[in-house]
Chain A
């Protein structure tokens, strides 16, 4: 196999492509408890996150909409999947662990089990220009959680 192919597969793991193609968790929830909007000015990508809470204040449903590349769409879908059923404080912890891993502040192994699928984004760390594609949804979420329930929040990645 040529070197380029290997690198392409290393960056775009099969798991990522599966999430991207599956369209899982895409959409917008009616009457959400949280709504957060994020934009990456470098590429113009946008994301709209909606969340609903259920029993015991746990996050019950997460949906995302907007356009983006394989990396941002797959990362959003995996995030949505990982957060459903978690408490808000757990969600915050997961956001922090994920961002530390993507920014290479902590090793891949430090990712908690809840974020197992996210390990497929490992290859992105070698492409600094693309790291923001992976973190956009997470930063948007984190902003939404800080803004609080019923508020609309805006997040913008720094260039």
Chain B
């Protein structure tokens, strides 16, 4: 992996933040985009712009093929058996809501149980809370151990014959913990439950195979993997998708409409009502090509090396607590931390003044933060273009912040 060459593809990395070179370490929130993706967006609007599936003219044909090309690439990226099992949504959140609305709402009844984990992003928690309120479905949560891993023993007991769905993140966005996806899926299968894997923090960073996992549904967002914002992916097993109700109603999702009724379209269009995010979906294909050319294994190895160095660097500083598994093989490229006596927001602002962008706050995981007994953390998260020098810059900036805030109090007024 030639990081120097990779960095040349990301124009934003030359940006100065308050006079300092940008050190972008907020990749778990969204990643930067290579010029290949940016140029694909410009190319689409300059040369191919048209609506899709509804014209016989050349531009419409081209635009349609570009979107369908991205769908084929997405299917290949996750090893989905057919492109039709890949549905484009706005983001991972919408993909999860689609399953809640079109599958769970149709098939679940009062007293049925959905098993989640204590580590879920709000987007894999709130849709189920909404459903639970509507359908009297019961939610259960696999607990997190103090170290920030899942308590699988407890999970084994929670997943029972009453469980109809196990919906869980493959990797924690707040702590970086990698979840033993296949173990959980096999527990669910034994119980006869369906599975939804939130792969938002997995798909960008390590190889993924929906056939090997044998999950029923899988969701992720393009913007966390070099792609544009406004594109999400839902993969589902074909038979399940066929049985589900449509999601939104409108154009494109129908095959025939009369005044009093409609016949839904075939997969995947049944779930893609209205004009989709054509340009961004087309450009997402470039992001997938870019990642595949580097190779997911190389990406995972690079992030592991950065994470190891970050943990060493940060834990050498006074008063720093690092959350999540100690065992580096159990975590992805996320390092969540706090400094004794300092609020993560102040840490985040102090780092920003040095050009270092990290996320500070609850990371859309308030229940997990409650469990850690902290209102929030500061979080550095890495991607393909990050360097060891940037990890050092993070360390230096944090050291400076600690020195600034922790200097002896002046006489209290």
B205 CB, min distance to chain A CBs, angstroms: 26
Decide if A11 is an interface residue (CB 8 Å cutoff).
yes
| A130 near B362: Cβ-Cβ < 8 Å | no
Q: Which of A12, A19, A69 has the most CB of B within 10 A?
A: A69
**Which residues of chain A are near B397, meaning CB under 8 Å?**
4
In the complex, per-residue mask of A62-92: 1 if CB is within 8 Å of any chain B CB, else 0: 0000011111000000000000000000000
B404 touches which of A8, A18, A43, A127 (Cβ 8 Å)? A8
**Which residues of chain B are near A9, meaning CB under 8 Å?**
404
A69 touches which of B19, B20, B346, B409 (Cβ 8 Å)? B346
A44 touches which of B346, B349, B353, B361 (Cβ 8 Å)? B361
Q: How many of chain B's residues have a CB under 8 angstroms from any CB in A?
A: 27
SS class, residues of chain A in contact with chain B: helix
B348 CB, min distance to chain A CBs, angstroms: 9
| A18 near B409: Cβ-Cβ < 8 Å | yes
Q: Which of A3, A22, A43 has the most CB of B within 10 A?
A: A43
| B400 near A133: Cβ-Cβ < 8 Å | no
| B410 near A14: Cβ-Cβ < 8 Å | yes
SS class, residues of chain B in contact with chain A: mixed
Decide if B345 is an interface residue (CB 8 Å cutoff).
yes
**For residues 317 through 356 of chain B, which have their beta carbon under 8 Å from a beta carbon of chain A?**
343-346, 349-350, 353-354
**For residues 6 through 44 of chain B, which have their beta carbon under 8 Å from a beta carbon of chain A?**
18-20
B413 touches which of A7, A18, A44, A67 (Cβ 8 Å)? A18
**Which residues of chain A are near B345, meaning CB under 8 Å?**
43, 69, 71, 130, 133
Decide if A45 is an interface residue (CB 8 Å cutoff).
yes
Docked CA distance A21–B362 (Å): 24
| B412 near A18: Cβ-Cβ < 8 Å | yes
A8 touches which of B350, B361, B412, B413 (Cβ 8 Å)? B350
Docked CA distance A70–B369 (Å): 20
| With A4-B20, A22-B413: A43-B376 Cβ-Cβ less than 8 Å | yes
Q: Which of A3, A4, A8, A21 has the most CB of B within 10 A?
A: A4
| A130 near B349: Cβ-Cβ < 8 Å | yes
A22 CB, min distance to chain B CBs, angstroms: 4
B404 CB, min distance to chain A CBs, angstroms: 6
**For residues 7 through 57 of chain A, which have their beta carbon under 8 Å from a beta carbon of chain B?**
7-9, 11-12, 14, 17-19, 21-22, 24, 42-46
Residue in chain B with minimal CB distance to A3: B19
| B361 near A11: Cβ-Cβ < 8 Å | no
B126 CB, min distance to chain A CBs, angstroms: 13
A45 touches which of B375, B405, B412 (Cβ 8 Å)? B375
| With A7-B353, A70-B405, A130-B349: A42-B410 Cβ-Cβ less than 8 Å | no
**Which residues of chain A are near B404, meaning CB under 8 Å?**
5, 8-9, 12
A84 CB, min distance to chain B CBs, angstroms: 15
| A3 near B375: Cβ-Cβ < 8 Å | no
**Which residues of chain B are near A7, meaning CB under 8 Å?**
18, 353
| B409 near A44: Cβ-Cβ < 8 Å | no
Decide if B366 is an interface residue (CB 8 Å cutoff).
yes
A48 CB, min distance to chain B CBs, angstroms: 14
**For residues 378 through 413 of chain B, which have their beta carbon under 8 Å from a beta carbon of chain A?**
397, 400-401, 404-405, 409-410, 412-413
| With A8-B353, A22-B413, A130-B345: A44-B376 Cβ-Cβ less than 8 Å | yes
| A21 near B18: Cβ-Cβ < 8 Å | no
**Which residues of chain A are near B409, meaning CB under 8 Å?**
17-18, 21-22
| B362 near A44: Cβ-Cβ < 8 Å | yes
Docked CA distance A149–B278 (Å): 56
| A127 near B376: Cβ-Cβ < 8 Å | no
**Which residues of chain B are near A46, meaning CB under 8 Å?**
375
B367 CB, min distance to chain A CBs, angstroms: 11
Q: Which of B349, B360, B369, B410 has the most CB of A within 10 A?
A: B349
Q: Which of A12, A42, A44, A46 has the most CB of B within 10 A?
A: A44
Starting from the known contacts A3-B18, A44-B362, A45-B375, 20 additional A-B residue pairs (CB-CB under 8 Å) come to: A4-B354, A4-B397, A5-B404, A7-B18, A9-B404, A12-B346, A12-B404, A18-B409, A21-B412, A42-B361, A43-B375, A43-B376, A44-B375, A69-B343, A69-B345, A70-B343, A70-B405, A71-B346, A130-B349, A133-B345
**Chain B residues engaging chain A, CB cutoff 8 angstroms:** 18-20, 343-346, 349-350, 353-354, 360-362, 366, 369, 375-376, 397, 400-401, 404-405, 409-410, 412-413
A–B pairs, 22, beta carbons within 8 Å? A4-B397, A5-B404, A8-B404, A9-B404, A11-B349, A12-B405, A17-B409, A21-B409, A21-B412, A22-B409, A43-B376, A44-B362, A44-B369, A45-B375, A67-B343, A69-B343, A69-B345, A70-B346, A70-B405, A71-B345, A71-B346, A127-B349
